[in-house]
A and B are shown apart, each in its own frame.
Chain A
Amino acid sequence: MKANCSSPGETGETGSPHPPGPQSPLHQRHLDLGSGLGRSSSWTCCSSTSQIMEKSPLQTIGEEQTQNPYTELLVLKAHHDIVRFLVQLDDYRFASAGDDGIVVVWNAQTGEKLLELNGHTQKITAIITFPSLESREEKNQLILTASADRTVIVWDSDTGRQVQRISCFQSTVKCLTVLQRLDVWLSGGNDLCVWNRKLDLLCKTSHLSDTGISALVEIPKNCVVAAVGKELIIFRLVAPTEGSLEWDILEIKHLLDHQDNILSLINVNDLSFVTGSHIGELIIWDALDWTMQAYERNFWDPSPQLDTQQEIKLCQKSNDISIHHFTCDEENVFAAVGRGLYVYNLHMKRVIACQKTAHDSSVLHIAKLPNRQLISCSEDGSVRIWELREKQQLAAEPVPTGFFNMWGFGRVNKQASQPVKKQQENATSCSLELIGDLIGHSSSVEMFLYFEDHGLVTCSADHLIILWKNGERESGLRSLRLFQKLEENGDLYLAV
């Protein structure tokens, strides 16, 4: 679907007056300009650094990675096609699914293959876990998988048993979401269906679009947001009351602010959610009244005041600015924009750090670790570990103030507001430092999963799953198990 999107970005790009040819003279000129202006301002300093970065666009790290804890890996092989999805089941188990249609349940600690779930005939398009309810007698956690064969299968994650199979879909289900509060789950394809735990179809919408729902999240007030092409549709779920015993789902609102297909949609917190589009628009929405809180749009806006040369060069492909994935914590939204990573601060409502070329090609998945670390994986087959650091005064990382504009500030004020913003930046901005990379996959790393205790699991288009572990910790654990076994065998106290 991503590949099919033709976006306005592309047209704008092709219409760009700057062909790739005369880049180096431009660079040269800019450098001259920078040196002519002198090094008094931090702006030029930043610019020149970014120039240097463009010459060697990808930040690399040497072989010495002292902060990289992952010194052990275990290759898990069970799939025979692209592995696209990883989902955590509990503290030590996860499931993987991909284009071969099989779902495999793994032990994250040992790398042992626990179950293989066969049922789908075509590639799996969505997977989600349906946590068990404490009150219910059936404690088993369920796994829901949707496939291109237009079925959804419900699995028992403990036994691998196929609980039920639903094949009444008109179209491929592209997203699944669970509303745990209501104990229902929703499937999104060309229409949106609501199911209960017993897999009864409670209600469904009419046909929405041929492209179908690409993303679906729950927002307060029994509402869900669905991304359908360029638009966001808010649905409200009507649970049965005294008045009506029927479930119902109502279309509440259409949000048409994105100018291109929406690729990513997540909840930031209870009050807001964020969407990202193919052409790099990042919009933060109020989850209650569905209004726009903030709008960031990088590279697209041809504002003349900015270093347009660079931007143009960077946005030769719209793919370079499409927002593939978000992750967030309390303060920041982290966006995987094209090949780069951007950190958007919710309080300051601006980008506080970025790494424009974090990878050789598109970043597909990012995740924030508790220890201020950010992990990204990319089509280039690598996984990189970043650390968000408070930026020191002379840090090399540029903050592209001009690249993102606050919608609220308005373009008219841009010129004026620029210096002010710079001040803020210097005070508070951060940088993303590369502290390690994990090289193992030979093809695009589709997704990864972080286990607090067991390390990192990555899955890739090379059909493999790799378990990355902290070697030191594993060594200690093995020693522990060794002595446990010795004790079990009674060998430990033989000498005594």
Chain B
Amino acid sequence: MISAPDVVAFTKEEEYEEEPYNEPALPEEYSVPLFPFVNQGANPWSKLSGAKFSRDFILISEFSEQVGPQPLLTIPNDTKVFGTFDLNYFSLRIMSVDYQASFVGHPPGSAYPKLNFVEDSKVVLGDSKEGAFAYVHHLTLYDLEARGFVRPFCMAYISADQHKIMQQFQELSAEFSRASECLKTGNRKAFAGELEKKLKDLDYTRTVLHTETEIQKKANDKGFYSSQAIEKANELASVEKSIIEHQDLLKQIRSYPHRKLKGCDLCPGEMEHIQDQASQASTTSNPDESADTDLYTCRPAYTPKLIKAKSTKCFDKKLKTLEELCDTEYFTQTLTQLSHIEHMFRGDLCYLLTSQIDRALLKQQHITNFLFEDFVEVDDRMVEKQESIPSKPSQDRPPSRSLEECPIPKVLISVGSYKSSVESVLIKMEQELGDEEYKEVEVTELSSFDPQENLDYLDMDMKGSISSGESIEVLGTEKSTSVLSKSDSQASLTVPLSPQVVRSKAVSHRTISEDSIEVLSTCPSEALIPDDFKASYPSAINEEESYPDGNEGAIHFQASISPPELGETEEGSMENTPSQIDSCCIGKESDGQLVLPSSPAHTHSDEDGVVSSPPQRHRQKDQGFRVDFSMENASPSSRDDSCEGFPAYELDPSHLLANRDISKTSLDNYSDTTSYVSSVASTSSDRIPSAYPAGLSSDRHKKRAGQNALKFIRQYPFAHPAIYSLLSGRTLVVLGEDEAIVRKLVTALAIFVPSYGCYAKPVKHWASSPLHIMDFQKWKLIGLQRVASPAGAGTLHALSRYSRYTSILDLDNKTLRCPLYRGTLVPRLADHRTQIKRGSTYYLHVQSMLTQLCSKAFVYTFCHHLHLPTHDKETEELLASRQASFLKLTLGLVNEDVRVVQYLAELLKLHYMQESPGTSHPMLGFDYVPSFLYKI
């Protein structure tokens, strides 16, 4: 649906103004809207325009039965973040799209109210007027005093960048599910406690009533009952019934399916609770005496109260707060998790995506990635592994854990139904389930949460107890084939590197109660949908039209709703749940009107069913990526050029994340379209430095290191032999008087130093005592103080004595003493005429070159025939010549480059064989080669 006009608009800006709609072929409803904020003079990415909040935040809202939708809290809890954004209004919006058919009532064929363990619904919603897009996670908590025992809540991740929400849907969903699971676990615990108290009250009431009845009986022995007595008897019966109902409820809440907790590592002591509850449940489900003993012996602290037959009106009560609803412990834990989410998704989408892909790829290189990757990430991985141990309390989780756990963008979703701006999209990829779980365990790191699993449960539950209409709808799927291919690629983790591969695909799995209105317009103030909206997001309607039968009318699209209508729908939805209202007053029968015909057969997404969507439709939504795309097409040459390795990804993560101030100046350096990309939305949404400490420091570090390395390369003509020294494991000593300068250069050059293992790089930033042979074994890059005093003579003497192990870079005299380098690798790695200007870009360039190098080393190391004789009689010489020719011909290494790969290969061997990495330093290898003195 996005198409030529927009492409033109961003590539040829002057033409776009004049003839924006000159594509005649498109029917009216497909015509592409202009970028709505282009008139404000901004580029499409810089400012997400209408947004009234400064950056992404999380909002928790409740649909209060007393006052309607209301915001409860935001994370971060800072008014500056959401600014003038109308939280009340947005709460109304997000709470009005709850597709959960959660209610408690008397289902047909059941004597007692049933609790549904409803799965959360996950919805993406957009409000273009507000400039806000949200991932909305609805959940239901139980409250004995609430209508229908349920309190609907939702957590929303609100961002100005719709693509971010779309593309990160899986991750958001996974993370929010954790938070939700945590809340619900606490809630179940609290609810069970509440029920127990209530039961005690009831029991006490029964006893009292019983006594009264007996007294009345005795007082009145005429053989007939007075109306008073009958009333009492009725009351007693009602209490009896209520007791049974509550016992049943207690049993239900305690029998919450255990398997649901699998993979939920969030809740400490959860299993104990479960066991506890299970055993209790078994006792309470026994005949009453055990329950009685249980009640009176085990919990003597609670004094039962008499319950009046008529309970107070719902509206008189003060409803419990969220914290009360859940255990305080769980509540704080949830907040921790939510702020973790907030940290995790900070920053630009491109950055998030690339870092996710980056990490996923890194995980694949578990043999080589220790060499040049940051140990921070390795640490993270270790943390992550620990985390997958089920019982680990989540509070201990450092926030820096960040994105690792997210599977890489699994389904890159782009929901095509902004038309109504409200859509319920439960991602469901049935055909993946088996594979996915299997692969999760086998290939990737253990992901402690599996969203698919949850979906699974959803199915089961629905089949079992929920009576609601279900349907699966595919929205905005561009190509049916992409589904399968993508799932394959996810499973094998061969992620498409470039985001433009993203297909908009969403298989929505809805749980919809027939009578409720699922989709509400988010533009209630406007009588008509703006034209551009109508034009741009017609997909849902189209699908509706195309497949009215297939969806069994489950979706009722109300494309345009005027404010009064909205009110009606709200009312309607409230009316539609009278049973809930009723059921908060115990003992009254719900009329069961709302019980929906159960149609659990959920249609699997039929690939063929979605083809009707216009294939190019998604592009508009992927504006950023489309630009990438065109960029890449436009400048393939610059890509090939080693100087400009990543035109499409010239993103500066640290720039986006941390240092905004630099962005302006560095933006100026870029006149090409990439600068657009790098300044994407998050400039507005992310002004505060990222708070995950490791990430922050390492990003800054990378940027600065890259910058200084670049400076070094430009400044010193002998940078190549120096870098060669580092890559080939010959210790480089940076000698200088000024500690700051030396440290700076050492930090910069450290990016070229291969690590020994999963710990810090062998870099010593500053040493002032004479070096020793141990130092050369331990450190590969040393900053050394030049001292003029006689003590300094010892230092210099030691340096000259051990000169065969070192290359010496004298910063004061601007000389370098090191072996000759004539390879081709380092010139590519460190070209002094490089067009790369930014430190982080250069850092990425270096990383990619080094990764390439690592893979060469990997191939060399693990090539069987290169290291072992193919037959017994083969001489060592033959083997050596085979190695040499492999290095030279197959890997294309020239001269000294061979040494680099050989050194890396040795490190790989050592690392692979090490039982416990990091225990010892590897041997010091060296060559007897002459050194030369380089001068500027």
Q: Which chain A residues lie closer than 8 Å to B773 at the CB level?
A: 73, 75, 440-442, 464, 466
- Across the two chains, which residue of chain B brings its CB closest to A61? B928
Interchain CB contact under 8 A, A479 and B867: yes
| Residue numbers in B under 8 Å from A442 (CB-CB) | 772-773, 798, 801
Please give me the residue from chain B that is nearest to A442 by CB atom. Answer: B772
In the complex, the answer to whether B928 meets A72 with C-beta atoms within 8 Å is no
CB neighbours of B926 from chain A (8 A): 71-73, 471
Within 8 A of B (CB), among A427-461: 436, 439-442
Tell whether, in the assembled complex, residue A479 and residue B924 are in contact, meaning their CB atoms are under 8 Å apart. Answer: no
Q: Which of B848-887 contact A (CB under 8 A)?
A: 861-862, 864, 866-868, 876, 879-880
B298 at the interface (CB under 8 A from A): no
A63:B902 contact, CB within 8 angstroms: no
With a cutoff of 8 Å between Cβ atoms, the chain A residues found around residue B927 in the complex are 71
List, in ascending order, chain A residues with CB within 8 A of B777's CB: 73-75
Q: Find out whether the CB atom of A479 lies under 8 angstroms from the CB atom of B909.
A: yes
Q: Is the CB of B931 within 8 A of A63?
A: yes
Contact with B along A449-489 (1 / 0, CB 8 A): 00000000000000010110101101110111111011000
Task: State in angstroms the CA–CA spacing of A140 and B557 once bound together.
Answer: 90
With A442-B798, A485-B913 known as contacts, the answer to whether A476 contacts B867 (CB < 8 A) is: yes
A49 at the interface (CB under 8 A from B): no
Contact between B925 and A482, CB atoms less than 8 A apart: no
A481 CB to closest chain B CB (Å) equals: 6
Q: Considering the chains assembled together, what is the distance between the CA atoms of A27 and B363 in angstroms?
A: 72
Question: Is A72 touching B925 in the complex (CB atoms < 8 A)?
Answer: yes
User: Quick one: which of B802, B866, B930 contacts A62, CB cutoff 8 A?
Assistant: B930
| Chain B residue, CB-CB nearest to A62 | B930
Q: Is A65 an interface residue (CB 8 A)?
A: yes
Query: In the complex, what distance in Å separates the CA atom of A66 from the CA atom of B876?
Result: 18
Main SS of chain A's interface residues?
mixed
B827, chain A: closest CB distance, angstroms? 24
Q: Does A68 contact B (CB under 8 A)?
A: yes
Does A64 count as interface, using CB distance less than 8 angstroms?
Answer: yes
Complex: A64 Cα to B928 Cα, angstroms: 5
Q: Which of B868, B880, B928, B930 contacts A436 (CB 8 A)?
A: B928
Q: What's the tally of chain B residues with a CB closer than 8 Å to chain A?
A: 34
* A481-B913 in contact (CB<8A): yes
Q: 1/0 per residue A51-81: CB within 8 Å of B?
A: 0000000000011111010011111010000
B868 pairs with A480, CB closer than 8 A: yes
Residue from the list A63, A73, A476, A482 in contact with B930, Cβ < 8 A: A63
User: In the bound complex, do residue A439 and residue B801 qualify as a contact, i.e. CB atoms below 8 Å apart?
Assistant: yes
Other-chain residue from B772, B880, B913, B923 in contact with A469 (beta carbon distance below 8 A): B923
State whether the Cβ of B912 lies closer than 8 Å to any Cβ in chain A: yes
Bound: A440/B775 CA distance, A: 11
Q: Are B804 and A63 in contact (CB under 8 A)?
A: yes
A485 touches B925 (CB 8 A): no
Q: Which one of A441, A469, A482, A485 lies within 8 Å of B861 (CB-CB)?
A: A482
- Which residue of the partner chain A has the closest CB to B912? A482
> Contact flags (1/0) for B899-921 with A, using CB distance below 8 Å?
00010011001101100000000
Q: Is the CB of A68 within 8 A of B928?
A: yes
Q: Which residues of A contact B788 (CB under 8 A)?
A: none
- Tell me if B's interface is mostly helix, strand, loop or mixed: helix
Question: Using Cβ atoms and an 8 Å threshold, which residues of chain B touch A464?
Answer: 773-774
B527 at the interface (CB under 8 A from A): no
Identify B868's interface contact among A467, A469, A479, CB under 8 A: A479
Cβ of B301 under 8 Å from chain A: no
The residue among A64, A464, A479, A480 with the most chain B CB atoms within 10 A of its own CB is A479
- Which residues does chain A contribute within 8 Å of B879, judged by CB atoms? 476
- CB neighbours of B889 from chain A (8 A): none
B913 CB contacts on chain A under 8 angstroms: 478, 481-482, 485
A63 adjacent to B798 (CB under 8 Å): no
Task: Map CB proximity to A onto B772-800 as digits: 1 under 8 Å, 0 otherwise.
Answer: 11100100000000000000000000100
Q: With contacts defined as CB atoms under 8 Å apart, how many contacts are there between chain A and chain B in the complex?
A: 88
Known: A439-B804, A478-B906. A72 touches B924 (CB 8 A): yes
Q: Nearest chain-B residue to A469 (Cβ)?
A: B923
Question: Are A74 and B923 CB-contacts (below 8 A) given A439-B804, A441-B773?
Answer: yes
Residues of A within 8 A of B902 (CB): 475
Q: Decide if B929 is an interface residue (CB 8 Å cutoff).
A: yes
Point out the residues of chain A lying under 8 angstroms from B867, CB to CB. Answer: 476, 479-480, 482-483
Distance to closest chain B CB from A213 (angstroms): 36
Does the CB pair B868–A483 fall under 8 Å?
A: yes
Question: A478 and B924: CB pair below 8 A?
Answer: no
Interfacial chain B residues near A65, Cβ < 8 Å = 928
Report B923 CB to chain A, min CB distance, Å: 4
Question: Given A475-B906, A478-B910, does the pair A63, B801 have CB atoms closer than 8 Å?
Answer: no
Q: Which residues of B contact A71 (CB under 8 A)?
A: 925-928
CB distance from B754 to the nearest CB of A (A): 16
- Are A77 and B906 touching (Cβ within 8 A)? no
A289 CB → nearest B CB, Å: 50
> Do A75 and B774 touch (CB < 8 A)?
yes
Measured CA separation A440–B776 after assembly (Å) = 10
User: What B residues does A492 contact at CB under 8 A?
Assistant: 864
CA distance A492 to B867 in the complex (A): 14
Given A475-B906, A476-B867, A479-B909, do A64 and B930 touch, yes or no (CB 8 Å)? yes
Least CB separation from B867: chain A residue: A479
Interfacial chain B residues near A472, Cβ < 8 Å: 880
Give Cα A205 to B804, complex, Å. Answer: 53
The listed residue with most B CB atoms (<10 A of its CB), out of A471, A478, A483, A485, is A478
**Complex Cα spacing A72 to B931, Å:** 18
Task: Tell me which residues across on chain A come within 8 A of B905, comparing CB atoms.
Answer: 475
For B876, the chain A residues whose CB sits under 8 A away are 476
Contacts of B924 in A (CB 8 A): 72-75
Q: How far is the CA of A68 from the CA of B868 in the complex (A)?
A: 24
A247-301 with Cβ < 8 A to chain B = none
**Within 8 Å CB of A467, what residues of B?**
923
Residue interface bits A418-433, CB-to-B below 8 A is 1, else 0: 0000000000000000
Q: Complex Cα distance A29/B906, Å?
A: 58
* Neighbouring B residues of A75 by C-beta, 8 Å: 773-774, 777, 924
CA distance A96 to B906 in the complex (A): 28
Closest to A474 in B: B923
Report the separation of the CA atoms of residues A65 and B868 in the bound assembly, to the nearest whole angstrom: 27
| Contact across chains for B923 and A72 when beta carbons are under 8 A apart | yes
A63 lies within 8 A of B928 (CB): yes
Q: How far is the CB of B215 from chain A (nearest CB, A)?
A: 82
Q: Which residues of B contact A66 (CB under 8 A)?
A: 928
Q: Of A65, A467, A472, A475, which is in contact with the most chain B CB atoms at under 10 Å from its CB?
A: A475
Question: Closest approach, in angstroms, between the C-beta of B930 and any C-beta of chain A?
Answer: 5
Q: In the complex, A48→B798 CA distance in Å?
A: 34
| Smallest CB gap from A473: residue in B | B876
9 examples of A-B residue contacts, CB within 8 angstroms? A64-B930, A74-B923, A75-B774, A441-B773, A442-B772, A475-B909, A478-B913, A479-B867, A486-B862
Binding site for A on B (CB under 8 A): 772-774, 777, 798, 801-804, 861-862, 864, 866-868, 876, 879-880, 902, 905-906, 909-910, 912-913, 923-931
Q: A65-B928, A436-B928, A439-B802 provided; 10 other pairs, C-beta below 8 A? A: A68-B928, A72-B926, A73-B924, A74-B923, A439-B801, A476-B879, A480-B867, A481-B909, A482-B913, A485-B912
A-B residue pairs, 8 tightest by C-beta? A479-B867, A65-B928, A478-B909, A74-B923, A63-B930, A440-B773, A72-B925, A72-B923
State the A residues within 8 Å of B (CB): 62-66, 68, 71-75, 77, 111, 436, 439-442, 464, 466-467, 469, 471-472, 474-476, 478-483, 485-486, 492
